[in-house]
Amino acid sequence: MHPSKALHGKAEPAPVALPVCDHYAGSEALLVKSLALQARLGPVFDITADCEDSPPGHEAAHAAMVGALIASPDNRFARVGLRIHDPAQRHWHSDLEIVIRAAGAQLAYVTVPKVEDLESLERVIAAVDDIAQQCGVRREIPIHTLIETHGGLHAAWELAAHPRVQCLAFGLIGYVARFDGALPPAVLTSPGQFDNPVVRRAKADVSVAAHAAGKVAAHNVCIDLADPQDAHRDAARASAEFGFSRMWSIHPTQIAPIIDALRPSAGLIREATDILLAAQAAGWQPMRREGRMLDHAGYRYWWGVLRRAEAAAAPLPDDARAAFFPVAPHSNPRISR
């Protein structure tokens, strides 16, 4: 029996898997460069086209540009999402109308910023579905939720549990701004963001809420751009200390370091493969291995390691690929209507 069936209950949906890096680009030039990089490296990272920070007074033209690029042949893998304007402000609905009309069949997801509660999220989802239906898009467009307010953090468990939500992302800068200057600027960078107890609590709450619902927890950006290894160090701490399995990038040089930091090591992948193959041969019954007792919970942990490796496009052993991932990843790059 495959571990996805043996290790998860019948009523429990399979955990969501996404590329480990989410690269944000907000201008036409940066989006074109990002698409070219993705075409060269493969769909090992997502691209989020940002409409929230579009030039004031040019919101519609910016959204039209985004829709045209997402619908273009340059979007080879259909792994480009859209961040709309804050739903409490203007333009969010027109962002959806323009982009879904142009590229609803290829749009990977919609990221909703500054969500305050479940009601506000459901209002956006209803608009997404209504516009998609009007445009003849016969698929449910996934939703990513950005937690960057006190209300959003309070509602994180409800938001993560929504069946349309794939990912909960923590927005550090927006969240710290809600403290109206009460927190020092050091918490916006490292190591302050990992040491401050208020910020640590928020990161932990977002990650736990996401994992409890089987969704992806995405870590905030690294704003230090001088050394790409700063992003690597942030991603490594975010994963090891808080369980984040995805992180934002805001510069192309951050993409590879983030992927490397969130990719399990070759040794860990080999260990997970050996344990899972032995467990599968034993019918997923408890067993003793190298002086350790392993059972269902242990097997589920090691299956999570392999799933993370596959999501990060890590090289998998041939026996792991044959036994657990027989379908080549990204074999159907374009999403159809």
161-181 average pLDDT score: 97
Residues 258 and 292 in one domain: no
Q: Is the pLDDT of residue 326 over 90?
A: no
154-171 average pLDDT score: 98
- What are the Cα distances from residue 205, in Å, to 144, 155, 201? 17, 10, 6
Number of domains forming the structure of the chain: 2
39-45 average pLDDT score: 95
Q: Is the pLDDT of residue 334 over 80?
A: no
Q: Is the pLDDT of residue 331 over 60?
A: no
Residues 184 and 78 in one domain: yes
250-269 average pLDDT score: 96
Domain extent, residue 71, equals 16-262
- pLDDT band at residue 168, thresholds of 50, 70 and 90? very high
Backbone phi, psi, residue 320, to 5°: -70, -45
Residues 218 and 206 in one domain: yes
Residues 188 and 210 in one domain: yes
DSSP state letters, 158-212: HHHHSTTEEEEEE-HHHHHHTTTT-S-GGGGSTTHHHH-HHHHHHHHHHHHHHHH
223-228 average pLDDT score: 95
Q: Is the pLDDT of residue 245 over 80?
A: yes
pTM: predicted TM-score of the whole model, two decimal places: 0.92
Residues 326 and 244 in one domain: no
